[in-house]
Structure 1
Amino acid sequence: MAHQGDENMSNHTNVNFLETGNDETERLALEECIKRQRFDQRVSVLVIPAGRCELAIKFARLGAQVVAADLASWRSEVDGRILANGQHDNITYLEGSVSHFPENPPGEPFDIIVIRRGLCHMPYEQARRAVRQLLLNLKIGGRLYVSILGLHSELSDHYADTEVPVEQRFAKLSPALIKKYGITGEVCLYTERNLFMLLLDAGASVLRTLTTTHGNVKAVAVRV
């Protein structure tokens, strides 16, 4: 079982910015968790989507209380990973996605939210609303970590909306790249500035943005 494009992307690491352990924003999120635990023994974390739970398990091993959110089709996978790693007391599965996140989730308000993917599969305005909703589930001063597919990456080759403003940008990848990475449907690819403005428009204060060697974009923001 895999999220859209996960299995194929794992075979092409030049755009696979989702490999847990190699992701700069995930490293920063884990460091933030450690810092917060020096002052508060109960650190609450949301990882969305949870996928194979690698990141959620890392947070749990640090002592955090983790909500692993994902689609219903992933529940057995998530529950199995939680049990296999002996983390049933520290990780809770929650049915939900970036675009359809439930109200009043367990564990809120969160100290840390990590959006591992999902924003690219919706138009800019919908993504802004989704981020805004997730921000409301953060504590004041809580950190939001975002990873997103970049416009200045291999994925932009023959991408129809390369020159279109981000507010209207939403198109399929080229047939060759769809076949290579399994990323189907329309996507909105982002520049670093696009992601900065998305977070700003959603009401976050942006602490840091970065573009990876292969052109994907990441950011750290805080709820103020």
Structure 2
Amino acid sequence: MNKNLQASPWAEENDPIQQLALEECVKRQRFDNAVSVLVMPAGGAKLATRFAALGAQVTLADQASRRQEIEGRVLAAGYPDHIRFAATELPAPPTQDDAAPYDIIVFRHGLCHLPYARGKQLIQQLMQQLKIGGKLYLSIMGLHSELGEDYAGREQSIYERWSKLSPSMARKYEMPDAVCLYSERDLFLLLLESGASVLRTLTTTWGNVKGVAVRV
């Protein structure tokens, strides 16, 4: 697995979409004491522990090879009864997941490693794993971020965009294969075409794009 499918420690602490997801968890806890959350990939498990501290039941989805590491982190944090590990082949969600459907899904990394059509299929899968009224929180690498500098697919339609980064960006981010970078408008289109109801999209200071959608 490309290590870029995993969240960096900085991203875990500073991703604005995560704060929105945590705030949603707090709101739901006021009405339902059994809020369920799926986080993928697991990263360092910090986001999962923040949800667990709010009383949520959390599933962390990641490569099977990370099980021992992640379960060790969860145990050290003191939340083994609130957080479970589910092995999957990222960026796909777990199959035959007994914890689904979820109130909240946070999908932070990996979509750009798929062509648009396959990305849409993945979002449709994730939406099916939400309860009616459940929300998806999504982060995607941005076309107008540093990654988009001299990106060969920059002028292509999102439907055709599937190109390698510039040599310098590919080396910097260790991403040698083709990727699909998104603008905020592209993200809105992706969610809409996936059958989701779009609640919010935003572009960060660094040019990456975020979205919140609800299953209706």
- TM superposition score category, shorter chain reference: over 0.9
Q: Structure 1 unaligned segments of length 5 or more: list them.
A: 11-17
Alignment equivalent of 2:176, drawn from 178, 184, 199:
184
Q: Does 1:217 align with 2:213?
A: no
Choose from 73, 98, 109 the match for 1:117. 109
Show the 5 A alignment for 1:170-181. 170-181=162-173
Q: Which amino acid aligns with 2:163?
A: A
**Equivalent-residue separation in structure 1 for 2:6 and 2:121 (angstroms):** 25
- 8 Å CA contact 2:38–2:60 kept in 1: the answer is yes
Distance 2:89 2:104 in 1: 16
What corresponds to 2:23 in structure 1? 31
Unaligned runs of 5+ in 2: none
How far apart are 1:108 and its partner, in Å? 1.0
1:104 corresponds to 2:96: yes
Q: Which amino acid aligns with 2:4?
A: Q
Counterpart in 2 of 1:15? Answer: none
Structure 1 match to 2:120: 128
Contact 2:145 2:207 in 1 (8 A): yes
Q: Give yes or no for contact 1:192–1:210 (8 Å, CA) kept in 2.
A: yes
RMSD across aligned positions (CA): 1.8
Query: How does the TM-score come out when normalised to structure 1?
Result: 0.91
User: What does 1:126-205 align with in structure 2 at a 5 Å threshold?
Assistant: 126-205=118-197
- One-letter amino acid matched to 2:142: G
Q: Partner of 2:4 in structure 1?
A: 4
Matches of 2:81 and 2:120, distance apart in 1: 33
Paired residue type of 2:11: E
| Residue 10 of structure 2 corresponds to residue 55 of structure 1 | no
Q: Is the 8 A contact 1:67 1:91 kept in 2?
A: yes
Q: Which amino acid aligns with 1:92?
A: R
Which of structure 1's runs of 4+ aligned residues deviate more than 6 A?
none
